[in-house]
């Protein structure tokens, strides 16, 4: 039988939480910094907000006048099924029983959508060039905009 261990202080100060190794913390921090650079390159004022021992969100990204809280998760092969589902699809919509649906889409597409919503990219032609370069179908331009 295993000995009973006293509760440990884990990530975010939660008792019995998994204790993260220095390599895991470094991997996560590197991913957060890389995402901030990518978003800056796309014109977003993203900011890394997480710190060691901090239990809040990892990044903030202002979109549509609000600082959106972003949680970053990195796993070696933990999300392989999501990537498989994204093959040949732009977004994947998934839902657990009795839960709100979630949309999973490539960061590049999410940034394009946010830029259009912010009014920084207004031509459908610009999106179609991006889609054509990736071998995807053209961006649909006839969808209603607003409350319609």
Q: What is the pLDDT of residues 85-135, one digit of tens each?
A: 999 999 999 999 999 999 999 999 999 999 998 887 655 556 566 666 666
Nearest to 47 by CA among 69, 24, 25, 74: 69
Mean pLDDT of 77-83: 91
Mean pLDDT of 24-41: 91
Distance CA(115)–CA(111), nearest Å, equals 6
Question: What sign for the dihedral angle of Cα 62, 71, 57, 36?
Answer: negative
Residue 108 half-sphere exposure toward CB, CA atoms < 13 A: 7
Q: Identify the band that residue 50 occupies on the pLDDT scale cut at 50, 70 and 90.
A: confident
Domain ranges of the chain: 17-74
């Amino acid at each position: 039988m295993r000995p009973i261990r006293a509760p440990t202080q884990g990530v975010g100060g939660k008792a019995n939480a998994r204790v993260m190794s220095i390599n895991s913390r470094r991997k996560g921090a590197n991913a957060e910094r890389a995402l901030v650079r990518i978003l800056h390159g796309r014109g977003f004022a993203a900011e890394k907000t997480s710190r060691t021992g901090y239990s809040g969100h990892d990044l903030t990204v202002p979109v549509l006048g609000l600082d959106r809280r972003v949680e970053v998760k990195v796993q070696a092969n933990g999300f392989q099924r999501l990537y498989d589902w994204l093959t040949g699809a732009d977004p994947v919509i998934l839902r657990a029983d009795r839960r709100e649906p979630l949309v999973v889409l490539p960061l590049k597409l999410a940034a394009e959508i946010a830029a259009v919503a912010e009014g920084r990219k207004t031509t459908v032609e610009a999106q179609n060039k991006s889609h054509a370069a990736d071998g995807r179908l053209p961006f649909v331009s006839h969808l209603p905009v607003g409350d319609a």
